[in-house]
Structure 1
Amino acid sequence: MKTKKYLIVTLGLIGIYFVGLTTINNKEEIEVSAKVENTNNTIIPKPLSYEGKEGKFTVNKDTNILVNGNNKEETEEISKIAEYLKEKLSPSTGYNLTINKKESLARNYIYLTTLDGKSELGNEGYEIDITKDGVKITAYKPEGLFRGIQTMIQLLPSDIEKSNLVNNIEWSLPISKIYDKPEYSYRGVMIDVARHFFTEEEIKKQIDYAAQYKINKVHLHLSDDQGWRIEIKAYPDLTLIGGSTEVGGGPGGYYTQEQFKSIVEYAAKRYIEIIPEIDMPGHTNAALASYGFLNPDGKRKPLYTGTSVGFSTLMTDSEKTYEFIETVVKEISEISPSKYFHMGGDEADSTKKEDYNYFVGRVSKIVEKYGKTPIGWDPIDTSPEINSSVILQNWKDSNEAARKKNMKMIISIANKAYLDMKYNENTPYGLDWAGYIPIETAYNWDPTDYAPKNLVLGIESPLWTENISDIKQMEYMIYPRLLGYAEIGWTPKSERNWNEYKIRLEKQGIRMEYEGINYYKDNTIWKNN
């Protein structure tokens, strides 16, 4: 029997990591990983405060997850969060942890509670207290407990992200205290499923990945010139015809209303809100190809599989148009619990300005009729019919009208936040019309660079998919930039620093690797790639 032994000791800014002896023979390979691997420097987004001390708490097969809320309903909700945590820890540890509705144990516990949660934490803030006896996560609302769990998981060894059983590892967390809450209430990612369609399961996987970094909104761009992706029962040809293709002429696809509800429910368990978008009056060729009554000549337009923009428009002076829109908004609103409905509004180059102004004003009132807050891309704010009841999603560096109207804004500036922009000239996917966005550029900005803070609702990073055709390409463009966007939305500007962040980002690489995320391995950060 041949035996090889390796001893690796790494000293650096992150801390000291001890990697044990690995024994390999012709019958077995025993995996031994870092006993102590984590400090505050590895957490993304960066917490407001972290106080570390010597010592550790180790999770083992006998660790109990305790849950306790301010009432029966809250305790039940926390129990579901505990189930999520149990399922997350199980594959790599092999543990089937017990969940108990108790206030405390003397030792060996992970305690999730809203008892004595501070109102100043808001819905998403949390506190973590790790001692040698256990972990206590306290929040004002259950949502905060879910965010705190993501931080706790990042404090465990990175092997926790593996989907297979990992042997001979100590699942320890450093003794520490963390106080944390978000800077902005809206921290989103947008996925364009219209140019190229992505399945229910593919979207759910991205929801899981995003939740780890405290993203709380996933905006689905459900219609465009190339495809209509949501079933409308009153207008079945929207999906049968409009959903039958995509950029390049692929098979397209769509979500039934049941599938959409399944995505919404899946996301809600991760405290993520799904925001539906129906783009109009431009970006509407898929609808125009589905129903002739939406066109001036009463005939269906040909399906479109190219990537040009600005050529399509709904008839803004036709009552049939508004009857159609109201039915679409009504059906989607009935299956979408989100407080928001995104009505598009950009690149309506074939719509006269006065017609555009009237249209977006009237559609915003339809959206509000069904209890939703309208969101629209700029230049929706320039319409005299739009007021502060509408949220501007700002993708150009121009929002004077929104400022004057005191409109809330979601900041998505194209040359800083667009995930479909290439990292550099060698990026195999994506576009470059707004310029290259390397990881450092994606991190080194703030929403207040573009709007007064009192008007900033938050940040969203959109992925347009004109030439993003599969999940691996999608992940390559989203990751690792989404981690930086998540931190911009969560961590105050004064607490963010690129040189410090990239050290934490480098440590996240192995976690993404273990999860199977096809992230872009920038060799200035991951130097061994």
Structure 2
Amino acid sequence: MRKVRVLFLGLIFISLFSFKAYGSDELGIIPKPLECEKGVGEFIVNEETSIYVQGKNKEETEELYNIGVLLQEKIYKGTGYNLNIIKWAKPSSGSIFLTTLDGRIGLGYEGYNLKVLEDSVHINGLKPEGVYRGIQTLIQLLPAEIEGIKESKNVKWNIPVLSIIDKPEYEYRGFMIDVARHFFSVEEIKRQIDIASSYKINKLHLHLSDDQGFRLQIKKWPKLTSIGGQTEVGGGKGGYYTQEQFRDIVLYAKERYVEIIPEFDMPGHTNAMLASYEFLNSNGRRKESYTGTKVGFSSLMCRSEATYTVIEDIIKEVAEISPSKYIHIGGDEANATSKEDYSYFIDRVSKIVLKYGKIPIGWDPIDTVTQLKTPIILQNWKDSNEDAKKKGMKMIISRANKAYLDMKYDRETPYGTDWAGYNSIENAYNWDPTDFGPKTLLLGLEAPLWTETITNFEELDYMVYPRLLGYAEIGWTPKEMRSFSEYKKRLEINKRRLDLKGVNYYKG
């Protein structure tokens, strides 16, 4: 009789709180969590709900408080409930508790444990960054109307009882916006940070210079923006960020645990620089501004000390306003630069970047530079990365036929290009960074959007979403846990959320 009773109680326990591989699939969470254990019942958010925050010290508690404010604002916008935020107090029944107490070392800085009971919600991380990632999952567990731009009436704000243990597969889960071919405003960039961070993207790479425009104020060399920043593809007015505006973007992103990585593409893709200052040109005359889309025709003078004076001033000023540990130096499609000059240039500029406490990143073929004596990260977009493998270089995978957001979905896509082939939602999802390199060398992946054909934020949305959600999952969720047939179901659930966010996503 006792054995029967124990078995009966065990069956009740399993039915109430057992791991289900499809738990997160039913809920539509993207990226898919590492473990999701569903229970029975629900937690209801109402006007009496409070947010409690407590860290291991004062600094962490303040950081958690700021995360609590972001959650408070999100809930207020969707529900109209203005939740209290309480520090250093024992959570009461009916509350949401954000904490770094007892965070698991094995989950790393971005990992979190989310536990929803009928009377409380607990999000625990080793660091506040992990708690922020858990907040994004919590928001996805609320009804989709939480994403609305105004208060929704007659909605039951329920969250299912469950337990999630989660952490990312890769440390680098990136998204790039080319603001050089077409310029995008501070508010447009912030909007992309909001959407991308809600799916746990943690890097935003800004391509700040190219033949068509130079987009960041350099106080030592003002003509880089007063001349070089005034054009874009097609002859538009261009634009640039002041250093104060760039700081604002960086701070906004930092509050959402997104790292802004600045790029200045060199020694090719530099016509905007050459159009700004005559002494950067071998004939002593400024180039004409360029508004076309050709590549590979421009080059800095790689043996001129004047070139490196300007570059060092750029890197010095950027290093002072950018907390990222990286500065991207470009290095692609330098067809007008000799191989010898290219090698000399990459090595010398890498040393300048290191001098100012940053780690250089470069597009291939920077890994082929034979005299490179400095550590540099390869962003692999096109060519073989065999040299990088031989040298033990760290890599970010951005293969154009899989990761480029400017590739058309299909022949009917009104924007973008197709030189690397069509990049459907399925094609964009069905790959892994380890397809292109050993995991020991991989930082992660990045999905770049080049903007030759992208002129406004509606077109940008169309090319980025929903593919970016798939890239977020590739970077977060282990390869063996992913399948496109199952992902499609969660993506379908998220369409409603994208609609409510006001995202002009591709609906094919």
TM-score normalised to the size of structure 1? 0.91
Residue by residue over 1:22-45, the C-alpha shift from the partner in whole angstroms, topping out at 9 and shown as x without a partner, is xxxxxxxxxxxxxxx986540000
User: 1:17-36, aligned counterparts within 5 Å?
Assistant: none
Q: Are 2:406 and 1:441 aligned?
A: no
The one-letter amino acid of 1:105's match is P
1:343 partner SS: strand
Which residue of the partner structure matches residue 361 of structure 2?
A: 375
Whether the 8 Å contact between 2:407 and 2:422 is mirrored in structure 1 is: yes
The one-letter amino acid of 2:45's match is V
Q: Are 2:257 and 1:265 aligned?
A: no
Which residue of the partner structure matches residue 507 of structure 2?
A: 521
How many angstroms does 1:388 deviate by? 6.5
TM-score normalised to the size of structure 2? 0.95
1:207 partner SS: helix
Which residue of the partner structure matches residue 303 of structure 1?
A: 289
Q: Are 2:51 and 1:65 aligned?
A: yes
Whether the 8 Å contact between 2:393 and 2:441 is mirrored in structure 1 is: yes
Cα 1:387/1:454, change in 2 over 3 Å: farther
Match of 2:197 among 208, 211, 219: 211
Which residue of the partner structure matches residue 352 of structure 1?
A: 338
Which residue of the partner structure matches residue 82 of structure 1?
A: 68
2:210 partner SS: coil
Which residue of the partner structure matches residue 422 of structure 1?
A: 408
Which residue of the partner structure matches residue 117 of structure 2?
A: 131
Which residue of the partner structure matches residue 475 of structure 2?
A: 489
Residue by residue over 1:429-479, the C-alpha shift from the partner in whole angstroms, topping out at 9 and shown as x without a partner, is 000000000000000000000010000001000000001000000000000
CA distance in 2, matches of 1:206, 1:162: 16
CA distance in 2, matches of 1:163, 1:156: 15
CA distance in 2, matches of 1:410, 1:149: 27
How many angstroms does 1:396 deviate by? 1.3
Which residue of the partner structure matches residue 389 of structure 1?
A: 375
Which residue of the partner structure matches residue 171 of structure 2?
A: 185
Q: Are 2:497 and 1:499 aligned?
A: no
Match of 2:96 among 95, 105, 110: 110
Match of 2:269 among 283, 297, 316: 283
How many angstroms does 1:105 deviate by? 2.7
1:145 partner SS: helix
Match of 2:454 among 459, 468, 474: 468
CA distance in 2, matches of 1:38, 1:364: 44
1:513 partner SS: helix
Q: Are 2:149 and 1:166 aligned?
A: no
Which residue of the partner structure matches residue 526 of structure 1?
A: none
How many angstroms does 1:165 deviate by? 1.2
CA distance in 2, matches of 1:118, 1:470: 43
Whether the 8 Å contact between 1:192 and 1:221 is mirrored in structure 2 is: yes
How many angstroms does 1:187 deviate by? 0.3
Cα 1:88/1:387, change in 2 over 3 Å: farther
Residue by residue over 1:289-327, the C-alpha shift from the partner in whole angstroms, topping out at 9 and shown as x without a partner, is 000010001110000000000000000010111111000
Whether the 8 Å contact between 2:27 and 2:141 is mirrored in structure 1 is: no
Whether the 8 Å contact between 1:397 and 1:450 is mirrored in structure 2 is: no
Which residue of the partner structure matches residue 175 of structure 1?
A: 161
Match of 1:312 among 289, 298, 301: 298
Residue by residue over 1:186-223, the C-alpha shift from the partner in whole angstroms, topping out at 9 and shown as x without a partner, is 00000000000000110000000001000000000000
Whether the 8 Å contact between 2:263 and 2:327 is mirrored in structure 1 is: yes
Q: Are 2:421 and 1:431 aligned?
A: no
Match of 1:119 among 91, 102, 105: 105
2:445 partner SS: strand
Whether the 8 Å contact between 1:195 and 1:227 is mirrored in structure 2 is: yes
Q: Are 2:94 and 1:100 aligned?
A: no
The one-letter amino acid of 1:379's match is P
Whether the 8 Å contact between 1:65 and 1:109 is mirrored in structure 2 is: yes
Whether the 8 Å contact between 1:381 and 1:387 is mirrored in structure 2 is: no
CA distance in 2, matches of 1:249, 1:212: 34
Q: Are 2:236 and 1:245 aligned?
A: no
How many angstroms does 1:106 deviate by? 3.8
CA distance in 1, matches of 2:300, 2:358: 22
Which residue of the partner structure matches residue 393 of structure 2?
A: 407
Whether the 8 Å contact between 1:196 and 1:465 is mirrored in structure 2 is: yes
How many angstroms does 1:166 deviate by? 0.8
Whether the 8 Å contact between 2:350 and 2:374 is mirrored in structure 1 is: no
Which residue of the partner structure matches residue 527 of structure 1?
A: none
CA distance in 2, matches of 1:345, 1:385: 15
Whether the 8 Å contact between 1:395 and 1:414 is mirrored in structure 2 is: yes
Structure 1: unaligned runs, 5 residues or longer: 1-36, 523-529
CA distance in 2, matches of 1:417, 1:48: 23
The one-letter amino acid of 2:454's match is I
CA distance in 2, matches of 1:447, 1:52: 30
The one-letter amino acid of 1:155's match is L
CA distance in 1, matches of 2:201, 2:299: 33
The one-letter amino acid of 1:71's match is N
How many angstroms does 1:390 deviate by? 0.5
How many angstroms does 1:411 deviate by? 0.3
The one-letter amino acid of 2:140's match is Q
Q: How many residues align?
A: 486
Moved more, 196-205 or 40-49: 40-49
How many angstroms does 1:169 deviate by? 1.1
CA distance in 1, matches of 2:384, 2:157: 49
Whether the 8 Å contact between 1:38 and 1:157 is mirrored in structure 2 is: no
Whether the 8 Å contact between 2:397 and 2:446 is mirrored in structure 1 is: yes
Residue by residue over 1:9-66, the C-alpha shift from the partner in whole angstroms, topping out at 9 and shown as x without a partner, is xxxxxxxxxxxxxxxxxxxxxxxxxxxx986540000000000011000000110100
CA distance in 2, matches of 1:350, 1:93: 57
The one-letter amino acid of 1:389's match is P
C-alpha RMSD of the superposition: 1.1
